[in-house]
């Protein structure tokens, strides 16, 4: 099965992180853009360390009011500045708690802008070069993958290609959150899509994402874990 990643440390009520952390391989930890603060980052890093989960920075546009899901028109310099502040603060906490930061995965509108605007992708790559050139960058699987592969080669940055277990798709394209069917509502459907993406595909998939702010996704993760413990591929 593919590695499971999940967006965590988002200061949700009730907080699902403690229940979800043992069920995932990679924790994308909010670092103050769309959600999170020093306290939440520390708490989530400790959980990840406890369960030996790889951690990555999950930066965003500075927009907690809209949970980072609205695009912002910033210059490359402005965008780099706000992302560098988020990621370096997170990196400092990783060092403090002796946890390795393995990758960066942008959140929400920033993620989608990265996939459609070369100038935003350039900022993300420059951010990695500035912070730690050995960090990976998480990008969307099946979308502009030839161009992504070319960019990875040009920059010597390893790209991790992800699909989404709980998002609706039209072909290789995710359905926008503003449209019906954007989120799969049934946990069984999310499990089924996870199984589908875990099989051979026409495009590379390295990891599959679940959203912690979507209750059905948390249930799906428990079902997947239960199936794995029973040695079954059917849930």
How is domain 3-229 classified at the CATH fold level?
TIM Barrel (3.20.20)
- Map residue 18 onto helix, strand or coil: helix
Q: Report pTM.
A: 0.94
Instruction: Please say whether the beta carbons of 160 and 138 come within 8 A.
Output: yes
pLDDT one digit per residue (tens) for the chain, 235 residues: 799 999 999 999 999 999 999 999 999 999 999 999 999 999 999 999 999 999 999 999 999 999 999 999 999 999 999 999 999 999 999 999 999 999 999 999 999 999 999 999 999 999 999 999 999 999 999 999 999 999 999 999 999 999 999 999 998 889 999 899 999 999 999 999 999 999 978 899 999 999 999 999 999 999 999 987 666 544 3
Per-domain residue ranges of the chain: 3-229
Q: In whole angstroms, how far apart are CA 58 and each of 10, 68, 106, 210, 223?
A: 10, 11, 5, 14, 26
Residue 230 has what pLDDT? 67
CA-to-CA separations, 177 to 115, 121, 214, in angstroms, rounded? 16, 22, 13
The reported pLDDT for the residue numbered 234 is 44
Q: Determine the Cα–Cα distance for residues 47 and 93; give it in Å rounded to an integer.
A: 13
**What is the distance between the alpha carbons of residues 162 and 148, in angstroms, rounded to a whole number?**
12
Query: Which pLDDT does position 235 carry in this prediction?
Result: 39
Cα atoms in the Cβ-side hemisphere of radius 13 Å centred on 13: 0
Rounded Cα distance, 5 and 18, in Å: 15
């Amino acid at each position: 099965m593919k590695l499971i990643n999940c967006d965590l440390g988002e200061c949700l009520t009730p907080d699902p992180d403690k229940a979800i952390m043992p069920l995932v391989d990679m924790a994308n930890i909010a670092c103050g853009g769309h959600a999170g603060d020093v306290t939440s980052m520390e708490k989530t890093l400790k959980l990840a360390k406890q369960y030996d989960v790889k951690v990555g920075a999950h930066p965003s546009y500075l927009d907690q009011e809209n949970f980072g899901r609205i695009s912002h028109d910033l210059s490359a310099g402005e965008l780099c500045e706000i992302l560098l502040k988020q990621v370096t603060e997170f990196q400092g906490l990783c060092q403090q708690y002796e946890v390795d930061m393995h990758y960066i995965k942008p959140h929400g509108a920033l993620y989608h802008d990265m996939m459609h605007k070369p100038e935003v992708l350039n900022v993300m790559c420059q951010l990695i070069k500035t912070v730690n050139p050995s960090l990976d960058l998480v990008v969307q699987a099946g979308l502009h993958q030839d161009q992504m592969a070319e960019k990875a080669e040009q920059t010597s940055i390893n790209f991790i290609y992800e699909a989404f277990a709980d998002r609706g798709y039209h072909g290789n394209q995710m359905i926008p959150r503003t449209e019906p069917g954007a989120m799969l509502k049934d946990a069984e459907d999310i499990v089924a899509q996870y199984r589908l993406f875990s099989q051979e595909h026409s495009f590379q998939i390295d990891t599959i994402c679940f959203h912690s702010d979507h209750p059905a996704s948390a249930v799906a993760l428990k079902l997947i874990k239960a199936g794995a413990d029973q040695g079954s591929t059917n849930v």
